[in-house]
A and B are shown apart, each in its own frame.
Chain A
Amino acid sequence: MLLKNTNIVSAAQTKFGALEGVTLREMFSEAVDKATIDAGIPKKDIQAAFIGSFIPEMLVHQGHTAPLLLDFAGLKGLPATRHEAACASGATALRAAVMAIESGIYDTVLVAGVEKMTSVSTSGATEALAAAADDQFESSIGLTFPGVFGIAAVAHMQKYGTTEEDLARVAVKAHKNASTNPLAQFQKEITLEKAMTPRYIAWPLKLFDCSPISDGAAALVVTSNEKAKKYTDLPVKITGTGQASASMNLCDRDDLTSFSASVEASRAAYKMAGLEAKDMDFAVVHDCFTIAEIIASEDIGFFKPGEGAKAVRDGVTALDGDRPINPMGGLKAVGHPVGATGVKQAVVAYRELIGDAGPNQVAEHDTGVVHNFGGTGASCVVTVMRRGDA
């Protein structure tokens, strides 16, 4: 096994949603306090910080955010760098932390993600998000993010017979799981009929196929084997990490029914962990749109290409199914503060693995996989995690 020394020993998130009156630095600080002080980990033990944040320059007019956030959170002076890979920013920060711990440079580091999106109008947020697509060749003809996934949905439907109702079932599942998650933006179940309400955003994607605009932060403390013992009897080991990129432009992809970066990143992560997709008890995947969850479930090897929709239909990916996916509600219902998402996904996996997910606990929880996806699919990071005593 290549990764021998990396453990998550605490994990926390703020509530996700429209957090009125709470600024970027305040939500960051809240997540950090929950992951350190509240978990019995003194801030003075933290040696460096790896921070995921997508585009605070456009959303809150703030660059050079890492030192600013650290100062406010009582960690002034530490080495701090922001990692940006659009919606995969959070997982790239985690991956950098893994490499730093494995190299032996640090023993204990903070990984955090944050985004404040509701401080601008919906069109302002849409414009900021559009910066994650190719401005000169695709955004310039009016292609939007929902549009990118609309194009993928049409291709998947044509090739495999996936239907709009299949997509709606992903949303129904997400809302059901989030209904018992007090940190979720939406905590209300929806019916299939409601999910099918024909309010098109980018045909065939409707309102309920899209993740919302959200504020929120999440944080992890990542540490070496030796130091982990000091904080917990039950760490979560990171045993595999994979990252890949792909063309920004959708038109430069040979296959629109699969995202090559997801396939490559998951293969690399499984290989590093010495495991296969079938060994995973559950998955946390990047469901920015309902079709994205179906395609991700195929790309990470949970289902064969074209069989992701059937798995949703048959309840296989439900909380009590054989292969649970997004057991706490996903981006779709918990919210998607872009830079926080990848870290929040790791928080979900951590809580599931140690058996701390309450009503959202999956039955088998030795090993899980986290899939965090950036922009049009031009970046993807996949992480394999295993409970320390498993």
Chain B
Amino acid sequence: MSEKPTVEEYLKNIEEGMFKAYKCVDCGMVIAPPSGTCYGCGSSKMKWAEVSGKGKLISFTVIHIAPDEFVEEAPYYVAIIELEEGTRVSARLLGFDPLKPEEISLGIDVQLDYEKGKSGNTYLAFKPA
């Protein structure tokens, strides 16, 4: 893995179950998904950052009508998660019945996980902590 992070390696890390975020070399802001420029200070110098994997649920939906690639997985959750380090990612949400979304409260603690999809891809995912 190169010292200077790339989008390709970011996606490969997820595929291999080893999620890492970007971190601004100049101000230390943790950023994911990747950005070419720091949202905090505007620097374009980035390095890899390990994350705790702890986060909280910001919002979610349940996809019932899915694109062809994901049809066999529907219905499934897609959620916005705020990591402990402050950045937010889009991910699958595991551990809940997709037909009972009204039982989920926003703000709950979640933990990093991965989901191997029927499409053959591995998705970034979170489960209840």
Contacts and interface: CB of A to CB of B under 8 A. Distances in A.
B63 A155 contact: no
Contact of A202 (B35, B63, B79, B90): B63
Contacts of A142: 63, 66-67, 69-70, 73, 76, 78, 92, 117, 123
A74 to B, nearest CB: 39
Nearest to A139: B67
A151 B69 CA distance: 21
B116 interface: no
Nearest to A152: B59
Nearest to B7: A136
Interface of B: 7, 11, 33-35, 39, 58-70, 73, 75-76, 78-81, 88-92, 101, 106, 117, 121, 123-124
Interface string A140-153: 11111011001111
A232 interface: no
Nearest to A149: B61
Nearest to A121: B68
Given A142-B92, A151-B78, A203-B101, A126 B59 contact: no
A269 B76 CA distance: 40
Contacts of B121: 140
A160 interface: no
Contacts of A314: none
A127 B89 contact: no
Across the A-B interface, give the 7 residue pairs with the lowest CB-CB distance, nearest first.
A150-B61, A203-B62, A137-B33, A142-B70, A155-B59, A251-B88, A251-B90
Contact of B90 (A127, A137, A201): A137
Contacts of A158: 59, 106
A117 interface: no
A123 interface: yes
Nearest to A134: B33
Contacts of B65: 126, 144, 146, 201-202
A130 B59 CA distance: 20
A203 to B, nearest CB: 4
Contacts of A150: 61-63
B59 A256 contact: yes
Contact of B67 (A126, A201, A252): A126
Contacts, number: 105
Contacts of A136: 7, 11, 33
B90 A154 contact: no
Interface in A233-284: 249-252, 256
B59 A143 contact: no
Interface residues of A, number: 34
Contacts of B35: 252
A251 B80 contact: yes
A26 interface: no
A200 interface: yes
B12 to A, nearest CB: 12
A201 B33 contact: no
Interface string A149-183: 01111110010000000000000000000000000
Contacts of B61: 143, 146-147, 150-151, 153-154, 202-205
A43 B128 CA distance: 63
B68 A202 contact: no
Interface of A: 123, 126-127, 130, 134, 136-144, 146-147, 150-155, 158, 200-205, 249-252, 256
B80 A151 contact: yes
15 contacts: A141-B78, A142-B66, A142-B70, A144-B65, A146-B63, A147-B63, A150-B62, A154-B60, A158-B106, A201-B64, A202-B62, A203-B61, A203-B62, A204-B61, A252-B35
A250 B76 CA distance: 18
Contacts of B64: 200-203
B87 to A, nearest CB: 8
A137 B81 CA distance: 13
Contacts of B89: 251
A258 to B, nearest CB: 13
In this complex, which of B34, B64, B68, B121 has the most chain A Cβ atoms within 10 angstroms of its Cβ?
B64
Contacts of B62: 150, 200, 202-203
Contacts of A146: 61, 63, 65
A215 B76 CA distance: 30
A136 B7 CA distance: 9
Given A151-B60, A201-B65, A202-B63, A141 B80 contact: no
A134 B7 CA distance: 13
B101 A251 contact: no
In this complex, which of A123, A134, A154 has the most chain B Cβ atoms within 10 angstroms of its Cβ?
A154
A371 to B, nearest CB: 23
